[in-house]
A and B are shown apart, each in its own frame.
Chain A
Amino acid sequence: MKATVDKLIDQMQLLFKDLLARDIMISNVITISSDRTMEQAKELMRLKKISGLPVVDDGKLVGLVSIEDIIKALENREIQQPLEKHMSKRLKVISPDANLPKIFEQFTRHGFGRFPVVDKANNLLGIITKEDILRSILEEFRVLYVRDKRMSDVLDGEALNRSLITGEEINKSGADFVFPIDYTEISLSGIGAARLKDFLLNKKDIPEDIVRKIAIATYEAETNVVIHSGNVGTIYCFVHEDYVRIRIEDHGKGISDVEIAMTEGFSTATDQIREMGFGAGMGLPNIQRYSDKMVIVSEVDKGVVLEMQFYKKNSD
């Protein structure tokens, strides 16, 4: 039996030998900087349901925290200590140009669950797990994903600088309000929306109930970025004469089916996050309910762009 499997793997490797590490890796990796504690690493791993956390300083890979490292630190009552002392520093890495047989060899030889992909200057480019390999192979077969060309146009190209609603050009550096979303700390979620509320109330020409609608929709969008994207995002607000436009962009995991995600009650949040009262499956439905116009565009692994428009005057 084993011989048959080995033979099969050999044949598969031949078939996919042009598949390179750069194609297989996940590039929006959740990372942590070395000045944090093991406790913080543990929390991040728990919330994001990951078993390994690359430690990155200024883009350079300096270590890796695994579940084993966490358990050891817990046993020795050293969980409060800086993770620099406890992370694995002797790392096995993969180059972005490594092909599938080479990657397989690394997995077999070292028996690790994941490998960081770094360039020659040790910049972290991505991470590869066995699951990623499987996914890439299936993707090669075009089984899993049916891609929508229009979506990748929006998320890749120049269209990122145009309004999804009206098509007019958007100058993001000229936004009236900008807030970077910190996805690593779930308790910070909502601060951007609260700040935006203060900012809009200070303008004094937008009715309070409209400001509240904007803040609620923005809160939901901000929370989505924190819980689901696994990457950084930004809130932009543009105040126009008659309306307010909010744009929230992230570069995270993306949504595979926007229609399902829009369904009330649908959520992919983990149990821990649900226990905190998030992930009720009301985020996108709430956004739709409170905004006058909304457009959302997403593709798996490319992130989400959400644009909302609110009229300054009540329609009735």
Chain B
Amino acid sequence: MLLEKIIESIDLELVTGDVEGKEIKKGYTSDLLSEVMASGNSDIWITVQSHSNIVAVATIIGVKAIVLVNGREYTQDTMDKAKEEDICLLRSKQDAFVITGKIYAMLQG
């Protein structure tokens, strides 16, 4: 499924990054960086972590988009690094449970 469609359907805020042509097949939800690492390859990652290290984690395992939940804000450093690495940064006021459920339903549907 295209990232564009997910953003539109569940009303995510696009903070930075190029959405076009990004195909999403798998997702992962966790705030523990090592756990995300161990999960292998996911295309979209739902978390409450906003510091710049999440970009390093995303880059290494090939995550294309990060969804920051609970209305949290990315640091400037995170946004700068994400641009460099071509990773889409998204936001939502809703919590991880709700967002995960919605994206999961879309990917399954």
Q: Scoring B residues 29 to 44 as 1 if CB is less than 8 Å from chain A, else 0, what string do you get? A: 0011111011011000
Q: Are B60 and A193 in contact (CB-based, < 8 A)?
A: yes
Known: A189-B53, A277-B33, A280-B33. A215 touches B60 (CB 8 A): yes
- Interface size of A in residues (CB-CB distance below 8 Å): 23
CB < 8 Å: which of A187, A191, A212, A280 contacts B34? A280
User: In angstroms, how far is the closest chain A Cβ from the Cβ of B37?
Assistant: 5
Write the nearest CB–CB distance from B66 to chain A, whole angstroms.
Answer: 12
- Across the interface, B60 reaches (CB within 8 A) one of A186, A194, A278, A282, namely A194
- For A286, the chain B residues whose CB sits under 8 A away are 34, 37-38
Task: Tell whether, in the assembled complex, residue B34 and residue A189 are in contact, meaning their CB atoms are under 8 Å apart.
Answer: no
Interface status of B100 (Cβ within 8 A of chain A): no
Chain B residues positioned under 8 Å from A186 (CB to CB): 53
B15 at the binding interface (Cβ < 8 Å): no
User: How far does the alpha carbon of A228 sit from the alpha carbon of B64 in the complex, in Å?
Assistant: 30
Tell me the complex Cα distance, A159–B58, Å: 36
Q: Is the CB of B77 within 8 A of A187?
A: yes
Q: List the interface of chain A (C-beta within 8 A of B).
A: 186-191, 193-194, 197, 212, 215-216, 219-220, 223, 276-278, 280, 282-283, 286, 289
Q: List 12 A-B contacts (CB under 8 A).
A: A187-B51, A190-B57, A194-B59, A212-B60, A216-B61, A219-B56, A277-B49, A277-B53, A277-B54, A278-B33, A278-B34, A282-B35
